Structure 1
């Protein structure tokens, strides 16, 4: 005969209450939605007045003055004058301000970066690499003195044109490309560490950087870069990500191609050349294989 276990019952109730509370919290988390191409905001605060939130856009946050803690995905990082953060759409965050802080925010959606781009593809690729590599979203950028000065000058420019964003959209876009070039030096393409999550970030960064060069994405090349064997890289990636390395590369590349097609600024011939594909028919074949319905 089985007797009623009140202790076990209470634990179950507590467990389900905990899970439901977490799910309710996540569903109620505020999401800021932006429809403009770019938004620049400069403001000063003694206390942080925004609830924990996510966005539908990317945010570059520059600390013009002040200090405190920045919490991203429950991970805290000290900030001070000159600190720079990059947040992705799914990064929840808030600031714990210790001394009065002056912020400069540059908010943008990645789709707008592809519209009317006349600059060399290389700059767009650097920015794609930056914003798509999650490692950049979880900590502050550590810059050398010359990098700090360059970033400061860029954000001074943003400050000057913050009320004329529509007029200076192309200037803003080009300044974002400049930031990507400066910050790319901080990306963890190869880290010797026992922390496998950091190893995965380095692997993602490598893929994102070389997505335009198929030869660099062969298992043999990736394994050589990370001082591993080809037989190790594939299973290692699938074990940590849940899909094969080949599928991830294909899906990520198609995502970037879709952005270019949606912008209307790229011809299929240009896309094929940029991504090292044979011709326009190869681009169409890749997209059809995903059954995206875009072409």
Structure 2
């Protein structure tokens, strides 16, 4: 399968096509796909979902994906590198890379927050205007628009990530989930005692409150979310096991393997070697 890279941190492109421009290609970067017009189906990591005008789809590095186009489709593609996400000085979003990688477990359009629909339409119109009528300082304007899209994508993913958390759920549980996902790489910050102190709750109340709001214990949620990210690294990236150990704060490979085997009953190396079979396990 062909692998495509970008030679800049951010790149914006417009495409009109009747045939999939993304087939049999893996990308080394993030990509926000906005459907200007047309309809069809998107397949991402073997998950199929319909798309239509207004769909906003986030592809993460090394996702396997393609389009099945039913009607001629116009797309705005916003490409940005992992380094851009990591190095940009986001003011209030911790570990945005981990947050964006969560899109790999979501199917189809990530634009679920209705007030954001109008914002995205406006940003897309501005980006298209910049493509068609470039002017002085266009690069700086484009970066601002792209950053806005990234933040909107992160906000929508954040609200979708908890399986049993609905749109009418207490805002505090969403803040707790944001905190967990933003600090998933740092075990010291994920201790129940630390989280309860952070949000001014007793440990006992935090445990019952989280389960009542989300349908699972806070410990189970943390372990499952971390495991999903590790599975993604193994299936859709070229990261070595020792790099994953470092990223998620395990003491060594043995510690990570023990954690991983509790669910999959095989080692990380075995899982990584047989990716095609492993995909049926997740």
Please tell me the TM-score bracket, short chain as reference: 0.5 to 0.7
| Root mean square deviation of aligned Cα | 4.1
Q: Which residue of 2 aligns with 1:175?
A: 145
CA, structure 1 residues 103+189, in 2 after alignment: closer, same or farther (shift >3 Å)? closer
Give CA deviations for 1:247-286 in whole Å, capped at 9, x if unaligned. 97962489xxxxxxxxxxxxxxxxxxxxxxxxxxxxxxxx
CA, structure 1 residues 204+74, in 2 after alignment: closer, same or farther (shift >3 Å)? farther
CA contact (8 A) 1:42 1:102 kept: yes
Q: Does 1:97 align with 2:93?
A: no
Q: Which residue of 1 aligns with 2:181?
A: 208
Question: Gaps (5+ residues) in structure 2?
Answer: 166-175, 197-205, 232-242, 251-282
CA contact (8 A) 2:33 2:76 kept: yes
Q: Distance in 2 between matches of 1:167 and 1:191?
A: 42
Query: What SS is found at the alignment partner of 2:19?
Result: coil
Q: Which residue of 2 aligns with 1:24?
A: none
Give CA deviations for 1:108-150 in whole Å, capped at 9, x if unaligned. 10213455x5x6522x547435423244664311434431111
Q: Does 1:147 align with 2:116?
A: yes
CA contact (8 A) 1:132 1:208 kept: no
CA contact (8 A) 2:23 2:67 kept: no
Query: What SS is found at the alignment partner of 1:99?
Result: coil
Cα distance, 1:107 vs. partner? 0.6
Instruction: Using structure 1 for the length normalisation, give the TM-score.
Output: 0.57
CA, structure 1 residues 37+226, in 2 after alignment: closer, same or farther (shift >3 Å)? same
Cα distance, 1:48 vs. partner? 1.8
1:68 corresponds, among 40, 43, 48, to: 40
Query: What SS is found at the alignment partner of 1:133?
Result: helix
Instruction: Using structure 2 for the length normalisation, give the TM-score.
Output: 0.59
2:13 corresponds, among 41, 53, 58, to: 41
Give CA deviations for 1:50-78 in whole Å, capped at 9, x if unaligned. 43211111110000001011111121110
CA contact (8 A) 1:52 1:94 kept: yes
Q: Which residue of 1 aligns with 2:49?
A: 77
Structure 1 segment 3-22 matched on structure 2, within 5 A: none
Structure 1 segment 98-137 matched on structure 2, within 5 A: 98-113=70-85, 117=88, 121-122=91-92, 125=94, 127-135=96-104
Question: Gaps (5+ residues) in structure 1?
Answer: 1-28, 194-202, 255-295
Q: Which residue of 2 aligns with 1:31?
A: 3
Instruction: Compare CA radii of gyration and give the structure with the larger one.
Output: 1
Q: Does 1:191 align with 2:187?
A: no
Q: Which residue of 2 aligns with 1:87?
A: 59
Q: Does 1:158 align with 2:127?
A: yes
